[in-house]
Structure 1
């Protein structure tokens, strides 16, 4: 590593940690204050409240690592450009291309670090967050962790759901067992092919109901094309399914996808989550080319604030593109791997194309 590489790397690292520290502090303060009323209402201690907020940090750090690294490149190389150090480098026969070496190395390190964080610490922290959220902040809430083979105990009911489709607000393969008040004997059984969430509860379809006659102990059977049933469970009780993938590391999620796919379940959402976990950490690598391109432009020398504004705008556009692409993946419009990696490939290509014309 040359002295130039060390100098550029040191400047980037310095600004990177400053930005990361500022963003983390702002997140902790804002998140704590925005949830303070929930903490007080649930009687959560100060230690548990802080612990809950800190356990959110690994996932948030994965989200902000690319942005912090992107802005640190703009700050470090922008100052190199503004202080005429770039002209001195050109005078010494050193082209701007050599500045890519420490930037590319740092981006690769940040990407691999984010990938390891997503596979190890982040899932464990997410499990702790969900445990506090559904166990202490919402003690009466139902914590559903999977969208298939769901088993729930609600009062005197045992409920089995084959699969939940949150986007369509539908349930498939429903079996409900109602026990007697002492909780020992089944007195009613409802089997439904499917159901949907409505304001009054669940609207079941293709229903067979078995009810125990208390006098002769025989079950009577009746069929209904539709059947309204209210268990006190609505769509919001199943929203925790969306965060289930956050509690699994990359390798664990891959094994889980293979397992439930063999059982015949739809794995589109899980597959998009898997490729999203592997693609997003490499946003640092995809955006570093654009960061170098912006920071070395002549306009950055006279108006650095404008260049930083361009950088924030590009980072915002990347986030919009990534979110939109992932939505298309969840909807089955795009293949999962393409939906997750397309923003990285697009922005990396734009950055490389711009650098090819850089003098």
Structure 2
């Protein structure tokens, strides 16, 4: 067989910034109400944490940092919903450790309806680098059913305000909320791409005991997405985000023991992130290779793809074989690109 030109193209995932990020969880702190799907205590593994205790724990943790640049993020509540005094106490403490050899990135998580131009300017002036907005969806109907208290226009406007303030933007999405189907999710992805965030988190909606969603589920008024649907839709979205240069920094909820103990239903899986990323990689290879003349004789992939190429439970094997990619012709290397050698 005659060997023909080797095609070389980049892995679609944007380069991740390798920076240690210290998370500070403030469950429900600053939240104006409890959304139908949410149980921050279960999701963070923290109970009724007092802000004073959280501040003291952060002070101790920062004092133990042994040098080197790191990031810090406030999660689990609505940071800008805290009193101004508490916001300043947390930010002032963080500022003491700011500098090239210390804290170099600071982010806060909040709601779209709890930001305005003035508060964003103040946060930037206090050293905040990024605002992560818990958008969840841009569908006004889905947001209303989920008890979010704002509509899609407010969500999009908040993203624009973050950008206008000169801050990095993170968007958190929750596919599978009540009334949320695949077409609405794909519209959410399209609208997110149009806003060009720096990072995205995807948390497929699950049912946790004690939430309003659990009551709907028990009455037969809500059905979560099947795992297969959540993986398929998330994986396709991941590829869209990758190709737009958007980093996907979280796929699925962390498996906190408190969450697993109270999980009633929904597309949670310990390997969810791997499953979605594997699908995204497979779809990308299909996109790049399906139109090429010739059959794959060898393929070289970045070594980091070793745990994703074949898919969880080898789900990708048949689809890859149709492209001519089989175990015998796969090689992993230290390069960041993907290279393919074809034969007639």
Q: TM-score range by the shorter chain?
A: under 0.3
* TM-score for both structures, normalised by structure 1: 0.25
